[in-house]
C-alpha cells in the first residue's frame, strides 16, 4: 500500500554525481590533471604513469558539454537539489598556484545558471576524489601539511565566487575512506602497502584541519551558507551475540564514527586516541590545530549509505563480502547486488537513528543507490530500461528514511547516487549503472552518449511529486 507522506514539506529530493565521473573534458578549459587521470581501472589496479586512452573518465558521459541537457532532465524529474562536485584541478590546475583559473570558475557559473533556471538548489562537494595530480606527485598528497593551505585557498576561491549562489557545501567526500583508499581519497602517491600508519593518520589529521578551516572560511565569505562533513556510513553488526563479537563490531564501527565525532564535537575522542597509541602512531598536532577543530564544527552531517557489514572476533568465521570501497564480514541474512554489496534497507534507518542520537545535527543522505547491469530495450517505440530492481531498491530504502523521520530524526534531504549513469569510482566501469537516465556508453568506450529515461525516471519523479506519499510498503 502507499503511505501518507512523513517527509517534511521542505525535504530536498534530488540526485548526486562527482565531476571526475561525469564531466570528461579532462584537458579542456585550462584544467590540470588529477589523480583520476592516472586511475583508469579505479582502485582495482595501481596508478599509471600518465593518462592512458583506456581511461573512460577522459570523456566520461561528457557532462562538460551536455550539462544543460542533463540538468533539464533532472528538473523534469522534479529535483529540489543537485549534488555535484567541483574539480579542484579545473580551479587550480596544479593545486598550488596563487590564483585560480578563470575558465574553470566560469564553467561552474554556467552549471549554477542552469540549476537556478530550473529552481534546483545546488549542493556542492569541494573535494570528491579528484586531488590535483601535481599535489600527489610533488607533496605526496594529504600526508604533507602544505595541502592544508592549498585546500583552504581553493575553498576560499569557491566561497568568494559562488558563496551567494550555493547554500549547502560538503568539505570532503567520504572523508573516512582515506584509511582504505589513500590515493583515491587522500591523493597519497606512496603505495598503500608502503604507507606507514603515522603518515596515513597524519593525512587524516591534515584533512580534518582543512575541513575545519573551510568551515571557518565559509562563515566569513558566505555567512548564509551551511557546511557539512560527508562520511561513508557502513553499520557494523555483531555476527553473533557473543560479547567479543559485539566489542569487535563496536571497535570497527568507531573507525568510521570518529570522523563524525571530530567534525561535530571538535576534538579527538578517547577511543580514537587509544587506537592511535595502540598502533604506535605519533601525530603532529599543534595547539592551533586543536583550536581550529574546536571552533569550527559543522552545521550538518551528510553521508553515503549502500551496505552494512558484520564483524566477529573469531578469525575462523571471518567470511568476507564486498563493501563500498572496503570489504567487511558477510552477513548471512542479507542478499547482495551483482557486485557483491549486501542490500540492507533497515540499515539506513539504523544509521539515521544512530547518527541523530549521537550528534543531534541535521542529517543529509547524499549517496544511496544500486549499481546494476541494465539492458536497453524498446517499448512503444521508445528506448528505455525496465529497471524494476532499482525501483524496488529505492522504494525500500526510502520507506526506511520515512520511518526514521517518524522516529524523530531530522533528515534534510536525499540525493540518489549516480542519478544519471556515470563511470564507477571503484571499478571505473560504465556497466555498473546507477542512474534514472541511461547513457549509451560501454566499458570499451563505444557508444553514442545519447540519454534515455529508464522506468525508474518516471517512478522517482512520482515520489518527488508526492513528497514520498507514493512509496509502497
Question: Residue ranges of the domains in the chain?
Answer: 12-466
Which pLDDT belongs to residue 251?
A: 97
CA distance 299 to 408: 18
pLDDT of 449 strictly over 50: yes
pLDDT at 323: 67
Question: Is 5's pLDDT higher than 90?
Answer: no
β-pair partners for 414? 13, 365
338-364: average pLDDT: 96
- Average of per-residue pLDDT across 175-179: 97
Dist CA 220 CA 224 (whole Å): 10
Contact assessment for residue 245 and residue 316, using Cβ atoms and an 8 Å cutoff = no
Average pLDDT over every residue of 278-292 = 97
pLDDT over 80 (residue 321): no
- Residue 257 φ/ψ, nearest 5 degrees: -60, -30
pTM passes above 0.95? yes
Q: What is the DSSP letter of 334?
A: -
**Distances 301 to 80, 253, 266, 367, 371 between C-alpha atoms, Å:** 19, 17, 13, 13, 24
Superfamily of chain region 12-466? Glycosidases (3.20.20.80)
Per-residue pLDDT tens digits for 286-309: 999 999 999 999 999 999 999 999
340 or 274, greater pLDDT: 274
DSSP codes joined into one string, 152-209: HHHHHHHHHHHTTT--EEEEETTGGGGGT-HHHHH---S-GGG--HHHHHHHHHHHHH
Distance CA 408, CA 430 (A): 38
- 446 pLDDT exceeds 50? yes
pLDDT reported for residue 336 = 87
Contacts by 156-160 with C-beta closer than 8 Å and gap 24+? 156/217, 156/221, 157/91, 157/92, 157/100, 157/105, 158/86, 158/91, 158/124, 158/126, 159/217, 159/218, 159/220, 159/221, 159/222, 159/225, 160/221
pLDDT digits (tens, 9 = 90+) for 191-247: 999 999 999 999 999 999 999 999 999 999 999 999 999 999 999 999 999 999 999
C-alpha cell of 185?
Answer: 581519497
Helices (H) and strands (E) in the chain, counts: 14, 16
Mind listing the pLDDT tens digit for each residue in 132-158? 999 999 999 999 999 999 999 999 999
Answer yes or no: 69 catalytic.
Answer: no
Kindly tell me if the per-residue pLDDT of 1 is higher than 50: no
H or E segment at 304? strand 300-305
Catalytic residue from among 23, 130, 174, 367: 367
- Classify residue 343 by its DSSP letter: P
Which is it for the CA torsion 210, 232, 282, 262, positive or negative? positive
In 3D, which of 448, 428, 85 has the Cα closest to residue 438?
Answer: 448
- The pLDDT, as a whole number, for residue 2 is 45
| Total residue length of the chain | 473
pLDDT digit string, tens, across residues 374-419: 999 999 999 999 999 999 999 999 999 999 999 999 999 999 999 9
The model's pLDDT over 76-120, given as tens digits with 9 standing for 90+, comes to 999 999 999 999 999 999 999 999 999 999 999 999 999 999 999
Calculate the CA 411 to chain-centre distance: 17
DSSP structure class, residue 61: T
Tell me the pLDDT tens digit for each residue of 207-217: 999 999 999 99
- Mean pLDDT calculated for residue range 279-287: 97
Number of C-alpha atoms within 13 angstroms, CB side, residue 207? 34
* pLDDT value at residue 334: 94
pLDDT of residue 4 exceeding 70, the answer is: no
DSSP code, position 124:
E
- Quote the cell numbers at residue 293: 577543530
Question: Residue 3: pLDDT band by 50, 70, 90 thresholds?
Answer: very low
The reported pLDDT for the residue numbered 422 is 98
Amino acid at each position: 500500500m502507499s503511505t501518507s507522506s512523513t517527509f517534511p514539506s521542505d525535504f530536498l529530493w534530488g540526485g548526486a554525481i562527482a565531476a571526475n565521473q561525469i564531466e570528461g573534458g579532462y584537458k579542456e578549459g585550462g584544467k590540470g590533471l588529477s589523480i583520476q587521470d592516472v586511475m583508469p581501472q579505479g582502485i582495482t589496479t595501481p596508478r599509471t604513469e600518465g593518462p592512458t586512452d583506456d581511461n573512460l573518465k577522459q570523456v566520461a558521459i561528457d557532462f562538460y558539454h551536455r550539462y544543460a541537457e542533463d540538468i533539464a532532465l533532472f528538473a523534469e524529474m522534479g529535483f529540489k537539489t543537485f549534488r555535484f562536485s567541483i574539480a579542484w584541478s579545473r580551479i587550480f590546475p596544479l593545486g598550488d598556484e596563487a590564483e585560480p583559473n578563470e575558465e574553470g570558475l566560469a564553467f561552474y557559473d554556467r552549471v549554477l545558471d542552469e540549476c537556478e533556471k530550473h529552481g534546483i538548489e545546488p549542493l556542492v562537494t569541494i573535494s570528491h576524489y579528484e586531488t590535483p595530480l601535481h599535489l600527489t606527485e610533488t607533496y605526496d598528497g594529504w600526508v604533507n601539511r602544505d595541502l592544508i593551505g592549498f585546500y583552504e585557498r581553493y575553498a576560499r576561491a569557491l566561497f568568494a565566487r559562488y558563496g551567494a549562489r550555493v547554500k549547502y557545501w560538503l568539505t570532503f567526500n567520504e572523508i573516512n575512506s582515506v584509511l582504505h583508499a589513500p590515493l583515491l581519497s587522500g591523493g597519497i602517491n606512496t603505495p598503500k602497502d608502503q604507507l606507514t600508519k603515522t603518515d596515513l593518520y597524519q593525512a587524516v589529521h591534515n584533512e580534518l584541519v582543512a575541513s575545519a578551516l573551510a568551515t571557518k572560511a565559509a562563515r566569513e565569505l558566505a555567512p548564509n551558507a551551511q557546511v557539512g562533513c560527508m562520511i561513508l556510513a557502513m553499520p557494523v553488526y555483531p555476527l553473533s551475540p557473543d560479547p567479543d563479537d559485539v566489542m569487535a563490531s563496536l571497535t570497527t564501527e568507531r573507525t568510521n564514527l570518529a570522523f563524525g565525532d571530530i567534525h561535530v564535537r571538535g576534538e579527538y575522542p578517547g577511543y580514537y586516541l587509544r587506537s592511535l597509541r595502540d598502533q604506535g602512531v605519533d601525530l603532529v598536532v599543534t595547539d592551533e590545530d586543536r583550536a581550529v577543530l574546536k571552533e569550527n564544527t559543522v552545521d550538518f552531517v551528510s553521508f553515503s549509505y549502500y551496505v552494512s557489514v558484520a564483524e566477529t572476533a573469531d578469525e575462523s568465521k571471518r567470511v568476507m563480502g564486498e563493501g563500498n570501497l572496503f570489504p567487511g564480514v558477510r552477513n548471512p541474512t542479507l542478499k547482495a547486488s551483482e557486485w557483491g554489496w549486501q542490500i540492507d534497507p533497515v540499515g539506513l534507518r539504523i544509521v539515521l537513528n544512530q547518527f541523530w542520537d549521537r550528534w543531534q545535527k541535521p542529517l543529509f543522505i547524499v549517496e544511496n543507490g544500486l549499481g546494476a547491469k541494465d539492458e536497453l530495450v524498446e517499448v512503444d517505440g521508445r528506448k528505455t530500461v525496465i529497471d524494476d530492481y532499482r525501483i524496488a531498491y529505492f522504494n525500500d530504502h526510502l520507506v526506511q528514511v520515512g520511518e526514521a523521520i517518524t522516529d524523530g530524526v531530522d533528515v534534510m534531504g536525499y540525493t540518489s547516487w549516480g542519478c544519471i549513469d556515470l563511470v564507477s569510482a571503484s571499478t571505473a566501469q560504465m556497466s555498473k549503472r546507477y542512474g534514472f537516465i541511461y547513457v549509451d556508453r560501454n566499458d570499451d568506450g563505444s557508444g553514442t552518449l545519447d540519454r534515455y529515461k529508464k522506468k525508474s525516471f518516471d517512478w522517482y519523479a512520482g515520489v518527488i511529486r508526492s513528497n514520498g506519499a507514493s512509496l509502497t510498503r
